[in-house]
Amino acid sequence: MARMMGEVEFRREMNRNYMVLKPGPGKNEEYTVRMLTENRIPGFLPFREKQVDGERWFYYDVTSRQPLGRILEHRNLRGKELERLAADLLFSLKQTERYLLDEKSMDLTPEMIYVDPDSFQCSFCLVPGGIWDFSHGFRELSQYLLDHVDHRDGEAVVLAFAIFRESRKENFGLEEIGKCLEKARAESEAGKNGEAEEKEVSRNRTGGQTGTEEEKRQDPDEDAAYFELAEHMLEAAGMQHYETSNYAREGCRSPHNMAYWKGEDYVGIGPGAVSTINGIRYSNTRDTDAYIRSTLENGLPLSEQEPVTAEDYRLERIALMLRTDEGLPLKYILPESRPLLEQYRELGLADISPEQRLILKGRGRLLVDAIAAELC
């Protein structure tokens, strides 16, 4: 992201506070200066050009405003504030179209977005001659907002993640920001009515209605979005994502689960529980009375037994260890499946560690079942 401006200073004149920029060379600079000088463009910091000691400076009135970055140094961003910021950004972008200004002249860094602390109204900085990659700048801003949102505020989390998710799509622009904001508002409103909807679904099911119209369908894209949201929130809370569906703090991973995934022996206790000991798998009866009677009479529960073959063991390791952050040892992958590994690396779905383990990453963790099926 190129920044076509020089020094930044702060000055106070006639009881007003100004952020002062020393401009650098840029295209369409004079047109932008004229439009900002002759018009008080809503959504942007008031602007004037001034000569000081023979040097040209851009003055931005920041009286009674604070940089977004400074505000969020001391606290997190709340839902209504984030909604206001997104709406103000959308409004300002529409003003650039109205006045034929270039959105690339907008600096979207948190230090250049000025906020009224009382209303949280946001004013943006339009720099004549500035050349920013707007899409890149917005992606960085969306990441910043997601990192600084109040994770206890459900409305804030939903909106921040919706903005983050949309900003990662290709051809992202003004229309997508509007859709994103409206969608997040709708999701927030739907969340408020979620309990009533759940009761209605439950009532329909209890009444014996089997039609899928009354049931909530799975949406792969929505599932993926919430998977990423959960990962972001839990890792921000200090949790480690050590298996596809498991998080834990340092030193608090489940020993039983780890043993199961790695193929070590484990004992299951209770009706229906499964154990694996010395290559034999035991499945306890699900009949509680039979389980108690057999345990009292024989010292062991009634169970079915079957050997775990070498091929069974290999397939289980692929299906289970691929889900962990330790990854799958390559020794379990057959030679004919090895060419797939390079494809996964090229697609950014996995890495191969120095210990010769296939470790899924990013979107690869969402596709773990499909990848495991291919390798089996």
Q: What is the DSSP string of 225-257?
A: HHHHHHHHHHHHTT-EEEETTEEE-TT---HHH
The boundaries of every CATH 1.10.510 domain in the chain are 1-195
Domain range 1-195, CATH class: mainly alpha
CA count, 13 A, side-chain hemisphere, 281: 13
Coil, strand or helix at 12: strand
- Write the pLDDT tens digit of every residue in 63-107: 999 999 999 998 999 988 998 999 999 899 999 999 999 888 899
**pLDDT of amino acid 214:** 42
Q: Which long-range contacts (CB under 8 A, 24 or more apart) does 8-12 make?
A: 10/62, 11/59
DSSP one-letter code for 78: P
Q: Give the Cα separation of 19 and 25 in Å (integer).
A: 19
User: What DSSP string describes 149-186?
Assistant: B-TT-HHHHHHHHHHHHHHTSTT--HHHHHHHHHHHHH
114 has pLDDT over 50: yes
pLDDT of residue 195: 47
Q: Is 332 helix (H, G, I), strand (E, B) or coil?
A: helix
Whether this prediction's pTM lies above 0.85 is answered by: no
Tens of pLDDT, residue by residue over 50-60, are 988 888 899 99
Percent of the chain whose predicted confidence (pLDDT) is above 70: 84
Residues 222-247: tens digit of each pLDDT: 677 778 888 888 888 899 999 988 99
